[in-house]
Amino acid sequence: MGVDSLEGHDVESERWVALTGSLGLNGVFEGGLKPRGMFSAIATDFTPDYERVCMTQSYVIIGDGIAGSSAAETLREEAPEADVTVITDEGEALYNRILIKEFAKGKLPEAPISIHDESWYDDRDIELELNTLVTNIDPDGHTVSTHDGETYEYDKLLIATGGTPTQLPVENSDADGVHHFWTFQDARNIREHIEEADTATIVGAGLLGIDLAAICGAQKVDGNYLMRGDSWWRYALDQEGADIMHDAMRERGVTPVFQSGVDHFETDDDGHVTTTVDPNGEEFDSDFVGIAIGLDFNLELLQNFEIEMDDGVVVDKYMRTSAEDIFAAGDLTRYYDVILGEHAQNGSWGSAKEQGTIAAKNMIDPETDEFRWVSSYSITHFDFPFLSFGHPTLGEDSVSKKYSETEWRRLAIKDGKIVGGVLIGDLAPQSGYKQLMREETFVGDQKEALLKEKFSADDIAATQEQ
């Protein structure tokens, strides 16, 4: 993440105003900024009103994605007196990351993608620092510092810094015209570029790769979708399910290419990508390249002190990290999944939102609420709906069935219980499957019933009662 475009903020002087200029004689604030946590250290001997103000907790959140923003909202709702600060290196407040693909497709203007403007934070007395990269956390001093030399004190800190798309480690992967996809700004760049492209190559056979393929299709650009194996999202779908997706890609003008990948990119004299060469030596014309091979979690801030990490920051069911007064939420967590009974990861909007909410509740009042969640992730690019839920790539067992040319289902099973699944075409049975997963119902001996075309959770209950 570069800091070149970041602007400075005079936070210290704001604090000074808060400390010196805003207290009325009765100790109640009469305007200006509220003090942050640092104030409690110097104000110990005041009237009860003063004490109430001076006991104010200070919450700092790093990241204004859905995890950070939902935490801020919950903190404000449940701790009206608290100081809440959200710091983000992005130049815009929370927007809908799910919808940026529709913008890149050319199907949506900018406006509906924004979720909060700056006034949303002002109205709630939440301090929002845009264009501000947090560069250090000092857990002993309970402070975080930023690229422009500012320091913020916290009583409780939330890390909600998400991830950054993984770069492809091949020659010319940083060439002009090679795109990764995570931010609204990425979507603007993609849209601007793809509208002028004639040929495209997509790399990364997962949920974000297919978004890039759909963008090519929507923008009427012929694309090749290079995959390492024999099928798209091979860890969650079987061949029959994947073939439905492959046919849908072809209908949109995107050709899946199997047993492929990228050896290197070639560029023109201006450094713009022209060709993708795969490991078999095959060449693909590429005015535009979209890469989605995974996410590197933004964990740099956690390198300088002791905190448990395991390809993500490890949190318990209350979103607590192993470091005192530091919580984490969203994509970057390896959280304790109470349904699975083990630590797990999940990159989805709903899960990140819920984790932010749960973290906030436990930051205010320890161990009040646990994270218990069955996530969903849907795709609406094709003529049929697609939904994955839970952890479709886990489990030692599975059941699957094709119902028609565009209807298919697979359930992932671990220790006889549903832990995730993928539905194509008919999504109606999802609620039954999710219920069984949530309730941790044993279904290991009910495979036929699970695959009934019009499935509901009652089918399992009824069978078990017999």
Check if the beta carbon of residue 161 is closer than 8 Å to that of residue 155. no
Sign of CA dihedral 100, 351, 297, 292: negative
| Contact criterion met (CB below 8 Å) for 78 and 361 | yes
Stretch that binds ligand FAD, among 25-33, 197-205, 341-349, 386-394 (CB under 6 A): 341-349
Minimum CB distance to ligand FAD smaller for 23 or for 292: 292
Range 278-317, binding ligand FAD (CB under 6 A): 298, 301
State the minimum distance, in angstroms, from the CB of residue 17 to ligand FAD: 24
Encoded tokens for 16:
């000074």
User: Mask: binding to ligand FAD, 36-65, rule CB under 6 A, as x and -?
Assistant: --------------------------xxxx
Buried b (16+ CB within 10 A) or exposed e, 220-258: ebebbbbbbeebbbbebbbeebbbbbbebbeebbbebbb
Report how many residues bind ligand FAD under the rule CB under 6 A: 35
Report in angstroms how near the CB of residue 371 gets to ligand FAD at its nearest: 13
Q: Which residues of 169-196 are buried (b: 16+ CB within 10 A; e: fewer)?
A: ebebbebebbbbbbbbebbebbbebbee
Q: How far is the CB of 55 from ligand FAD (least distance, A)?
A: 28
Q: What is the distance between the alpha carbons of residues 115 and 331, in angstroms, rounded to a whole number? A: 19
Amino acid at 379: I
- The token pair at 40 is 């409690």
Report in angstroms how near the CB of residue 30 gets to ligand FAD at its nearest: 32
User: What is the pattern of x (binds ligand FAD, CB under 6 A) and - over residues 71-90?
Assistant: ----------------xxxx
457-465 and 430-438 helices cross at what angle (nearest 10)? Answer: 60
Burial class (CB in 10 A: 0-12, 13-18, 19+), 443: buried
**Partner residues linked to 21 by β-bridges:** none
**Token pair belonging to 209:** 């790769």
One of 71, 75, 158, 160 touching ligand FAD (CB under 6 A): 160
Span of 46-54, 72-80, 92-100, 381-389 interacting with ligand FAD by CB under 6 A: 92-100
Per CB under 6 A, 337 contacts ligand FAD? no
Four-CA torsion 47, 50, 52, 57, nearest 10 degrees: -140
Which residues inside 201-260 make contact with ligand FAD, applying CB under 6 A? 208, 211
Least separation in angstroms between residue 113's CB and ligand FAD is 11
Beta bridge partners of 138: 143
* Comparison of 387 and 449: residue with beta carbon closer to ligand FAD: 387
**Given candidates 33, 61, 134, 358, which one binds ligand FAD under the rule CB under 6 A?**
134
- Map tokens 């399910």 to a residue: 241
Give me 211's structure tokens. Answer: 């978004």
**Where does residue 2 rank: exposed (0-12), middle (13-18), buried (19+ CB within 10 A)?**
exposed
Under the binding rule (CB under 6 A), the answer on residue 419 touching ligand FAD is no
Dihedrals φ, ψ of 407, to 5°?
A: -130, 125
Q: From residue 344 to residue 363, what is the string marking binding to ligand FAD with x (rule CB under 6 A)?
A: ---xxxx-x-----------
Q: Is 148 in the site for ligand FAD (CB under 6 A)?
A: no
State which residue, 83 or 331, has the beta carbon closest to ligand FAD.
331
Q: State the binding string over 372-411 for ligand FAD (x if CB under 6 A, else -).
A: -----x----------------------------------
Interaction of residue 158 with ligand FAD, rule CB under 6 A: no
**Contacts to ligand FAD by CB under 6 A:** 62-68, 87-90, 97-98, 100-101, 133-134, 160-163, 181-182, 208, 211, 298, 301, 330-331, 347-350, 352, 377
